[in-house]
Each structure stands twice: as C-alpha cells, then as structure tokens.
Structure 1
Amino acid sequence: MKDSFAQLLPASLVIFFLLLASCEHSTHPTEVVEPLSTTLIGRWRYDSTGAAFYNSRREFSNKFMAPLPANALLTIGPTRWNYSGSLHEEHSYTRQGNNLLVYRIGDSHLADLKYIHQEEIGKVIGNPSELTITTLSAHQLVVRDSTMDSDRSLIRVWRSYYSR
C-alpha cells in the first residue's frame, strides 16, 4: 500500500500544482465594465424631423425633412419630456418597451394663444401622441409617429431625430 501511495503522490502533486496555477489570485478589486447606456433619460439635441406620406393603398406619395432651429433640446426625465432652447413645450410620458405615450401639458403660451383656458395650465391637454422608438443608442434616438386622415385617404409617418 505504501508503494502505491508513493506512486500516486507525485502525480497528485502535479495535478494539485496545475490546478493552483490556473487559479489566479488578485489583490485588485474586480472591475465591472458597464455596457453603453441606452437609456432614454437625459438631454438630447433635436436635430430634425421629417414625414413620409402614403395614399390609402399604402403607396408612397411624398416626403420631406426639416432641420430644427439651433439649440432645440429635449430633456427626458423619468416621467417628463420637455423641449427647451428654441422650442418650449412640456409633456409627461409613459413607456412600455419601445412604445411611448406622450401627453402635452398646458402652458401659459398656449393660454395666451387661446388654445387652452387658464385653468388648463399645468394639466394634461388633448390626446396623447403614440410614438414608437425605432432607434435608441448612446448617441442617437429616433421616434416615429403615424397618423391617418379621418377618411383614410392619407397616412403620415413622422420621424424625429435626436442626438447627444
């Protein structure tokens, strides 16, 4: 028995040292690398907007792209969607996956223009815009909004382009 143990000991020691060498001990804390942020929340430059138009047979008809005035910004918080800079609008929103419901909040400018009554300032007005996020990366956001005329003769597909 002693002889078989003596024969196994060198092989066992080799295996033990190989296993020990493969385990690396580090005195440095583990570095966690976060993936690029794809959060909606933050400040975005509102670069441009465009629309494509389709007839009732869903055949392409026309399109346009329009740059926005310089300094048009969109700041998105956990529940707010606010334009500032060359545009001023306040919205609340909810998000479910890539779908957004964006609600316009009444402001004094709308009241001055007689679009709303004074008592509607600070409250949700009108129906929400139903937007779909088509692109969301650390530096780019594209949202789409589709509408159809009441007689179904024209479909408009709006896209808004943002960057940061």
Structure 2
Amino acid sequence: MAYPNTPFPLLNLPRELREIIYEYTFTTTTVSTAATSNINSRNAGLLTSKRTRAEGLQLYYTLTTFTQPFHPVHEQILADLLHFFTSIPTEHRRLVKTVHVSLSNSKGAAGGPKTHALMRRYFDGELRGFERELFERLEGKVGEGVLQVEVFCWDGERERNGMVWTGRPVGVE
C-alpha cells in the first residue's frame, strides 16, 4: 500500500540513473499526433511528480517518435499536425525531433526504382508543403526537419521491399 507522503522510488536514484531510465523509456515511445488522442495522457509518466516532469520533459520531446496516421484528405493531416503542435507549450515545440507522417496507407510498393523515385518526389513535395504551412502558422516555433515521411525502398526483389522514414530531400541519401 502506498502512502501519500512517501517519495516516488525513482527519485531515490541518482540523477544520472534517472536520466538513463528516461532515455530508455522515451526512446521506445511512439505517440499519435491525431486530434482524437488524449493530449494529457501523452506523457503520463511525467505527471507522477513535479520533479520527474522537470527532469524528463526535455528527453520526452526529444526522444519520443510522434506519428501522424494516414488520412486520405491531406488537409486533415495538416489540421492534426497543427492541433498537435499547438497543444505543446511554445517553449517545448522546438524540442520535438521526430514526427512520422504517413502519406500512404499502402504497405507494399509495386514496381521498381523508378516507382520509388516518383513516390519519394511526390511525398517529399507534400512533406515540404506541410512544413512550410506549419512554420507559417506556428511562427517558426517548430524545429526544421522534424517531419519525416514513409518511403518504400526497393532493392530489386519485390519481397524485400522495406520502409524507411526520411526527412531528407530527394537525391540525398
């Protein structure tokens, strides 16, 4: 049975160990940016005490991978991204390092390298449009290169198609 005034056991550990625990916790954390997800529960582990929140918040935003699910209407993706970033305090927005934006619900890519290059050019253009819009609407209070798009790699054998996330422009490997 826990007692109200008993300190959280994590806080008994040295700061260096707590930071390692935060890193392990947030490196494997994936959180949806969709407007329907509960913003307050996104970092529930940091709500255990003011001290854990103060210590872990920067690592949370820096190490967590946020995901924007596929939606056939790209305006909805932009609306969800804007909702997500405006739900984060302004001083924390630049801490976000990775947002995976799914622009296709396809789990396989037919064709070869030409198809891959065309898909990448298209998705890269869409991604840049989202980034420009976010920068304008959020007055630059979001990090550059944060958004990453799902791109399928093709190595010459269809069964080996793989998915990578990239925020790099076309032609940059």
Length-normalised TM-score, structure 2: 0.21
More strand by share: 1
Structure with max Cα Rg? 1
Query: In proportion to residue count, which structure has more helix?
Result: 2
